[in-house]
Amino acid sequence: MTTRKDCLALDAHDKLSPLREHFTLPDGVIYLDGNSLGVLPKAAPARIQQVVQHEWGVGLIRSWNTAGWIDLARRLGDGIAPLIGAEAGEVIVGDSTSVNLYKVLSAAIALVKADEGHRSVILSERSNFPTDLYIADSLVRAHGMELKLVDADEIEAHLNEKLAVLMLTHVNYRTGRMHDMPALTRAAHAAGALVVWDLAHSAGAVPVNLKGDGPPEEAADFAVGCGYKYLNGGPGAPAFVWAHPWHTEYMDSQHLRQPLSGWLGHAAPFEFKADYHPARGIQRFVCGTPPVLSMSALECGLDVFHAAEAYGGMDALRGKSVALTTLFIELVEEYCVGQGLTLFTPRDPAQRGSQVSFARGTGGYAIMQALIARGVIGDFRAPDILRFGFTPLYTRYVDVWDAMVHLTQVLQTGEWREPRFNQRAAVT
Ligand SMILES: Cc1ncc(COP(=O)(O)O)c(C=O)c1O
């Protein structure tokens, strides 16, 4: 039986523990919501102050060149690339995940239509994050296509000659279930479709290898992901886009088009030509002027991943993530037995990301509010999911223990029934 003392010993021997020092974590808070909004990198306030006071305040317009603002989208992309199995120059940062998904899905549809017009289906998972489904829905309407939604286990059965694009989120936001990316990518390619991955709950959380280790068919076509979750880029941090260089580099430069053809995705923006020629490479997925302040914060988040390389990088982080999520599942199932919680995340660590979800027939929202009042911050996803994110960069084993103790007390005392915990806020 694991004890709190065991957890303290695990922390004492944790080689990744120095990485926690890179973050500001409020006293009295156990933060288990890094899958929704990551914590503040210690370097960020000073960096933003520097950008505001010196680069903006003094450098003014000159800073686009002198402070390298114009390269930020690509520089940050280079920081994300190793986390997702991409090379430098293949990833670009900007806009939101939703907007980037619109760009890549449109580009994928155009590629398929150009080659094989009879393919009319975009396939996704019924429980995919709503924004992905809404974006896909708007595109199928515009293109006279069909959005087919199936359960996770039915995906392979729907890979057929009608399929244009398989669009999936690698780690499901509610269940935490992780798809077998290489296997599904290969199967969709075998069916003649293109593959788009949303890495919102993967980048910085689990090792991702978009290009696969095996045959070329395992390499995905496009991916998007979030800057403000596991990458700790701050609220509303810009997102990222990756496209396989096959599409962006090796083909004719006009081959791949994205619909938001803004000036900074042009091959020569400062020639101010009237007609649009996409830049080579991933740069064409840039639309307009980058949000320099937000990008500066995101860069501080990415710097921590760079520092993490000295401690074993994503593989070591994954090892700790699995240990943390496994421990939480074991402790909650042992101590909260009979309290109505049902594990909603796959028990097999190979099939889950870095979060643990429990379903509860009633009271889920109020239970989470009671936990938050005690300083244990997770979140609630309608209709009945208590969601706990584990971030190996800063979550300690003892946090897992203490979170379990609070959860047990909230359930055993019934304090969650207090009216104050039952008033719904706009953000859950
Ligand atoms: C899978 C997934 N995609 C996209 C988003 C959000 O997209 P955006 O950054 O455009 O709000 C989320 C947010 O939680 C998400 O879970």
What pLDDT was estimated at residue 253?
A: 57
- State the catalytic residue, choosing from 23, 102, 173, 228: 228
Residue 229: active-site member: yes
- State the catalytic residue, choosing from 177, 229, 284, 318: 229
Q: Which residues of 131-144 are buried (b: 16+ CB within 10 A; e: fewer)?
A: bbbebbeebbeebe
Residue 387: active-site member: yes
What pLDDT was estimated at residue 408?
A: 98
Q: Residue 131 CA: which ligand 1 atom is closest?
A: 4
Is the model's pLDDT at 252 over the cut of 70?
Answer: no
Ligand 1 midpoint to CA 98 (Å)? 7
234 — pLDDT class (breaks 50, 70, 90): very high
Contact 2, 329 (CB under 8 A): no
Q: Looking at residues 197-213, what average pLDDT do you find?
A: 97
Contact 267, 336 (CB under 8 A): no
Gap between the Cα atoms of 328 and 284, Å rounded = 43
Q: Looking at residues 312-320, what average pLDDT do you find?
A: 98
Q: Looking at residues 68-77, what average pLDDT do you find?
A: 98
Is the model's pLDDT at 233 over the cut of 90?
Answer: yes
| CB proximity list for 364: less than 8 A, separation 6 or greater | 380, 383, 384, 385, 386
Ligand 1 midpoint to CA 227 (Å)? 10
The single residue listed with the structure tokens 């979750």 is 229
Q: Is the dihedral of CA 147, 148, 152, 155 positive or negative?
A: negative
Tokens of 414: 């019934």
* 200 close to ligand 1 (CB < 6 Angstrom): yes
Contact 368, 389 (CB under 8 A): no
User: Per residue in 332-344, pLDDT tens?
Assistant: 999 999 999 999 9
* 132 close to ligand 1 (CB < 6 Angstrom): yes
What pLDDT was estimated at residue 196?
A: 98
Q: Which of 95, 127, 173 to mutate to test the pocket of ligand 1 (most atoms within 8 A of CB)?
A: 173
Rg (CA), the chain: 22
* 197 close to ligand 1 (CB < 6 Angstrom): no
1 — pLDDT class (breaks 50, 70, 90): confident
User: Per residue in 158-197, pLDDT tens?
Assistant: 999 999 999 999 999 999 999 999 999 999 999 999 999 9
* 355 close to ligand 1 (CB < 6 Angstrom): no
DSSP class of residue 123 equals E
Ligand 1 midpoint to CA 173 (Å)? 9
What pLDDT was estimated at residue 22?
A: 98
| CB proximity list for 134: less than 8 A, separation 6 or greater | 98
Gap between the Cα atoms of 208 and 56, Å rounded = 36
Is the model's pLDDT at 117 over the cut of 80?
Answer: no
* 50 close to ligand 1 (CB < 6 Angstrom): no
Residue 113: active-site member: no
* 168 close to ligand 1 (CB < 6 Angstrom): no
- State the catalytic residue, choosing from 31, 129, 230, 358: 129
Gap between the Cα atoms of 79 and 67, Å rounded = 17
* 198 close to ligand 1 (CB < 6 Angstrom): yes
Q: Residue 226 CA: which ligand 1 atom is closest?
A: 9
* 380 close to ligand 1 (CB < 6 Angstrom): no
Ligand 1 midpoint to CA 27 (Å)? 28
Give this prediction's pTM: 0.97
* 97 close to ligand 1 (CB < 6 Angstrom): yes
User: Per residue in 61-70, pLDDT tens?
Assistant: 999 999 999 9
Is the model's pLDDT at 254 over the cut of 80?
Answer: no
Is the model's pLDDT at 276 over the cut of 80?
Answer: yes
